[in-house]
Amino acid sequence: MSSVPERSEIEREYKWDVEDIYASDDAWEEAFEAVRERLDELSAYEGRVTESPETLLELLELQEDIMREVSKVASYASLRSAEDTRNQEYQALSTKAQSLASQASSAASFIEPELQELDESDVEEFVEEEPALAEYEHFFDDALRMKPHTRSAEVEELLAELGEVAGASSDIYNMLSNADMTFPTVENPEGEAVEISQGNFTKLQKHPNREFRREVYEQFYDEWEDVRNSVGTALKNSVKKDVKYARARNYDTAREAALDGPNVPVEVYDNLLETVRDNLDYLHRHAELKQEALDVDDLRMWDLYMSLTGEEGPEITYEEAKEYIIEAVAPLGEEYQERLAEGLESRWVDVYENRGKRSGAFSSGTYDTQPFIMMNYQDDIASMFTLAHELGHSMHSELAKEAQPWQYADYEIFVAEVASTVNETLLTHYLLENAEDDELRTHVLDEYLERFRSTLYRQTMFADFELQMHEISEEGGALTPDRLDEMYGDLKAEFYEPAETDDRIGREWMRIPHFYYNYYVYQYSTGISAAVAIVERILEEGEDAAADYREALALGGSKYPIEVLETAGVDMASPEPIESAVSVYGEYLDEIAELLDLE
């Protein structure tokens, strides 16, 4: 029987090095208590933020000292929790850490409201009197920019304290989908019993046997049907939370609030939806090519993940994936390449799926730790691309931490998804140019087309769904599971027009954790658009363009996202990068159609 192993069965070299943060749970407890006791130190400055330049500098340095330790405490607990969501001890640690983070935010919540009592000329005088404050000029600019949407210190403290419970819907969903839900076991065409999981569902949807794919599809979504009311309630309340927080900060809509945080114009979002919708014919052609390649009368939902080759791609072991990725990033410079290789050998990555492990993949870490990448590696091309993606995030963090002080080391997701997709795009170029195995080249091309489909088009579809949900809630409408099914099913039918939809696909929204992230998904689509433009420039211009890109990564959060990408040579305020990405998608469709002799 093919089953998911327990964590204890995974070899140490394939597990991340969480002990790099704290050597033991006892050490974590000591750190937790020590930093919790320090939170009161911040309150001594309440009412004194603008007392003098010296006082302001003391406070900002104290805040950094405390928050850096809070981040480490929270990171350790979060990573341990992700390892096995069934482990109640680590769930308790995670809950304690979330509470601490909320308390820390609350303790520091008076800083920006008081800072906003100053105007630009006041800030200039402070910096002149205390030159060390010059390091915080972008922070001051951002704080003053948000003045119309910042409440009194008392209200800000209350909103910060509510942060612990505001994430309840997401927490409930994650526990339900990762820890409590169990999926059926099915027999594959080889006679083996295969347990369906969140981690392997997509891989099973790529199996060459169509009847097996259909059975997996139906069994998987039927399991979600049994929890539709719970998941629907969680998502409804998550959306309501977004709306209420936006109104509390004097925004007209939740989308406006979400995009204003990183200072991204709402027009960027509208431009994405409009440009992608105007180019759905490319996605429709991709679907038609799949139908022809599979030689089926009707393309069904369980066919959408299938390769255009009509079969599973070659096996790519984790060790092989590492080698390919290291070679692929060579255009970014020798230092970048060596640092990435070193990270892969330093247990940055938690590689394989185990029972209870959180689904999906992510890159995490803090200013004072190494990066941590969580994966559920499946020995296939898709997993190799996911590894390249997450390494892009990790290297972004490494370059930003090295170049920036603590307050600017974090960066907005809008920029983060560019860094991850640049690595994917470089991997594609490398393999298409260097792979001697024709089968591998064909499957790499097909995989990149799938990345386009799932990143540019699918995430834009998600963004449309997210916008519709919030608009209904903002207008006082009811977000029932039936209505969510209908909305999602209509979008799926529009985006995948040549394919035949069914009732089960209307439930797909139930398995997407990103809908709890408050206008997050659109950044995958803008990210791939910017990444394609950046890689084309690097491959054409060489080291000068690569240096611009590295400089953009090193900026971290010291500039606004639109400005950061301008440093890399991309204007995301225009539709040009999206149109360019769509054009590349079309060119690759033409290439693979010719290779496989498809119309």
Catalytic residues: 390
Alpha-carbon span 375 to 349, nearest angstrom: 7
Alpha-carbon span 565 to 85, nearest angstrom: 37
Alpha-carbon span 509 to 521, nearest angstrom: 13
Contacts (Cβ under 8 Å, ≥6 apart) of 240: 473
Angle of CA points 479, 481, 482, to nearest 5°: 100
In this structure, is the dihedral angle defined by the CA atoms of residues 302, 305, 306 and 308, taken in order, positive or negative?
positive
Alpha-carbon span 526 to 575, nearest angstrom: 10
Rg (CA), the chain: 24
Record the tokens describing residue 164, joined without a space. Answer: 């612990």
Phi, psi at 373, each rounded to 5°? -115, 125
Record the tokens describing residue 159, joined without a space. Answer: 């909103």
Task: Quote the DSSP letter at residue 7.
Answer: G
Angle between the N-to-C axes of helices 458-474 and 522-541, in degrees from 0 to 180, rounded to the nearest 10: 150
Report how far apart, in Å, the C-alpha atoms of 166 and of each of 100, 162, 231, 232, 236 are: 14, 6, 16, 17, 13
By the 8 A CB rule, do 592 and 445 touch? yes
Record the tokens describing residue 404, joined without a space. Answer: 């920036």
Report how far apart, in Å, the C-alpha atoms of 373 and of each of 16, 54, 68, 217, 525 are: 7, 40, 20, 28, 22
By the 8 A CB rule, do 185 and 194 touch? yes
Nearest CA to 548 among 561, 557, 535, 560?
535
Which residues are bridge partners to 300 per DSSP? 500
Angle between the N-to-C axes of helices 88-107 and 25-38, in degrees from 0 to 180, rounded to the nearest 10: 20
Alpha-carbon span 70 to 33, nearest angstrom: 10
Report how far apart, in Å, the C-alpha atoms of 430 and of each of 139, 292, 342, 433 are: 39, 28, 20, 5
